[in-house]
């Protein structure tokens, strides 16, 4: 499709709950009414700068570990930072954090890195905190659908 845009989900999913959140994002983003958005999902350790360079929007999903984003997500940023710095300024992005009890350190750290990259956070960061709830699935699905629909409509 000539005008197809790409939405990239970079998701670190070491647990079944995190995998369920990633699946929910994909389900929302691949809503049948959204027809000109190609949705890709890649684990952060497998994401290369070229994947980011070819993306029109990005969703980041990470657990909070020891008050910070997962090591895998940090490695992703370390490897793509300079290759993507110039070309991807303004890239629309969204953040999902799965946290056992907090999530604030991860949100702060991601915002700092995204400020450095000059990516645009287009949704209020979503923190799925505490004991796992089905509501998290709904929230992730909605976030995925909103990003994809906004990309499709050309409003982000
Ligand atoms: C090594 C380790 C460190 C963790 N550190 C934090 C933390 O600093 N803050 C927090 O809210 N949750 C923390 N957690 C909980 C994880 O965020 C949570 O287990 C993860 O998001 C997976 O969620 P799930 O158990 O629902 O699959 C930690 C978990 C592990 C294994």
CA–centroid distance, residue 54 to ligand 1 (Å): 31
Return the closest-CA partner of residue 93 out of 123, 64, 54.
123
pLDDT at residue 3 in the model: 82
Distance, C-alpha 33 to centroid of its chain:
21
Q: How far is the CA of 104 from the centre of ligand 1 (A)?
A: 12
CATH number for the domain that contains residue 98: 3.40.50.360
Phi, psi of 153 (to 5 degrees): -80, -5
Q: Is 151 helix (H, G, I), strand (E, B) or coil?
A: helix
Closest CA to 9 of 31, 38, 42: 42
Q: Which residue puts its alpha carbon closest to atom 12 of ligand 1?
A: 100
Q: Whose CA is nearest to atom 28 of ligand 1?
A: 65
Q: How many domains does the chain have?
A: 1
The pLDDT tens digits along the chain (156 residues) read 668 999 999 999 999 999 999 999 999 999 999 999 999 999 999 999 999 999 999 999 999 999 999 999 999 999 999 999 999 999 999 999 999 999 999 999 999 999 999 999 999 999 999 999 999 999 999 999 999 999 999 999
What secondary structure letter does DSSP report for 81?
Answer: H
pLDDT value for 10: 99
Residue 15 CA: which ligand 1 atom is closest? 27
Best of 14, 16, 99 for a ligand 1 pocket test (most atoms within 8 Å of beta carbon)? 99
Write out the two tokens for 101.
């009890």
For ligand 1, atom 19: residue with the closest CA = 100
Burial class (CB in 10 A: 0-12, 13-18, 19+), 66: exposed
Domain of residue 62 covers 5-153
Q: What is the pLDDT of residue 122?
A: 98
């Amino acid at each position: 499709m000539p005008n197809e845009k790409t939405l990239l989900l970079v998701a670190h999913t070491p647990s079944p709950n995190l995998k369920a959140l990633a699946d929910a994002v994909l389900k929302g983003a691949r809503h049948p009414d959204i027809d000109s958005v190609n949705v890709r999902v890649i684990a952060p350790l497998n994401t290369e700068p070229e994947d980011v360079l070819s993306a029109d929007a990005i969703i980041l999903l990470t657990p909070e570990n020891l008050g910070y984003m997962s090591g895998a997500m940090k490695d992703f940023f370390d490897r793509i930072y300079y290759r993507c710095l110039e070309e991807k300024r303004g890239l629309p992005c969204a953040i999902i954090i799965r946290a056992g009890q907090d999530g604030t350190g991860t949100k702060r750290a991601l915002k700092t890195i995204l400020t450095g990259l000059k990516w645009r956070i287009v949704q209020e960061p979503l923190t799925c905190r505490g004991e796992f709830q089905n509501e998290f699935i709904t929230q992730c699905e909605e976030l995925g659908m909103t990003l994809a629909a906004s990309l499709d409509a050309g409003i982000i």
